[in-house]
Amino acid sequence: MKRFELERAISENELILHYQPMVEVPSRRLTGVEALVRWRHPERGLVSPLEFIPEAEATGLIRRLTFWVLREALLQSNVWRRDGAAIPVAVNLSVDNLHDAHFRRFMELTLKVAGGPELLIMEVSSRALARDPDPPIPILDLMRDQGIRVTLDDATDEDAHLVEKLRLDIVKVSRALVSRMGRDHRALQYVRAVVDAARERGIAATAVGVEDEATWAQLAEIGFSSAQGYLIAAPMPPSQLSEWRAARV
């Protein structure tokens, strides 16, 4: 993946967002959606973020990419709001964004134009935060002070120290653990450890990667308050989300 191609993708609107529903446990009521970026590549078709986010981080393009995602997600959220549905949107941030002096200003400007800190959730990967010698705590606190919810993403039992140290609203438990917990007792123990650490501090726990009813049936007892995964719905374009919602009521 070449830098100039990725630059072109951002400038020429080749990026798109898909949205994956997050639902309450056990009611399955929609609580929000996660915005997940894809690249509509002219030759390669739809390219996964796993293939270009690392490149965007390595080249510094992650600033523009995140700015685009944040703006697009907030605009979409406004469209839904105008249609009478207040749907919170979660956006994935790179830890580099949190160290970027321009990020705060961009976030504040975007909120001024597109509005709605109460409908915005920022997800930050626990992997990146754990590796960070100087975790960007002030900006995370600032977001919360502005009414934005903060999620620790991809969390495992090893992240208890982050759950203690950071002011968080949500802890999302890693799909690698959630998808194994039905058949792997160890994985289940790790899931319990991180969910318990979160709940002790009044932080909500979300399960990612719930693919079957057997896993779903375990969630409430473990202490999850919400979940996302293919069992409920895969990420989808915004137009399809409206149909998905309409089909459920």
Binding site for ligand C2E (CB under 6 A): 20, 36-37, 48-50, 53, 66, 69, 92-94, 123, 125, 153-154, 175, 208-211, 228-230, 235
Count of residues engaged in binding Mg ion, rule: CB under 5 A: 3
Parallel, antiparallel or unpaired: strands 30-41 and 89-93: parallel
Residue 92 engages Mg ion in binding (rule: CB under 5 A): yes
Of 200 and 212, the one with the shorter C-beta distance to ligand C2E is: 212
Of 34 and 157, the one with the shorter C-beta distance to Mg ion is: 34
Whether the CB-CB separation of 17 and 35 falls below 8 Å is answered with yes
The least distance separating ligand C2E from the CB of residue 153, rounded to whole angstroms, comes to 5
Of 20 and 156, the one with the shorter C-beta distance to ligand C2E is: 20
Of 5 and 55, the one with the shorter C-beta distance to ligand C2E is: 55
Q: Which residue in 89, 8, 18, 12 sits closest to 49, CA to CA?
A: 18
Q: Which does 50 bind (CB under 5 to 8 A by kind): Mg ion, ligand C2E, none?
A: ligand C2E
228 strand-pairing partners: 208
Residue 72 engages Mg ion in binding (rule: CB under 5 A): no
Q: Which does 69 bind (CB under 5 to 8 A by kind): ligand C2E, Mg ion, none?
A: ligand C2E
Q: Which does 94 bind (CB under 5 to 8 A by kind): ligand C2E, Mg ion, none?
A: ligand C2E
The least distance separating ligand C2E from the CB of residue 12, rounded to whole angstroms, comes to 17
The least distance separating ligand C2E from the CB of residue 117, rounded to whole angstroms, comes to 18
Per-residue burial over 97-120, b if 16 or more Cβ lie within 10 Å, else e, is bbebeebbebbeebbeebebbebb
Q: Which residue in 91, 92, 71, 68 sits closest to 10, CA to CA?
A: 68
Parallel, antiparallel or unpaired: strands 149-155 and 120-125: parallel
Of 109 and 234, the one with the shorter C-beta distance to Mg ion is: 234
Binding site for Mg ion (CB under 5 A): 92, 123, 153
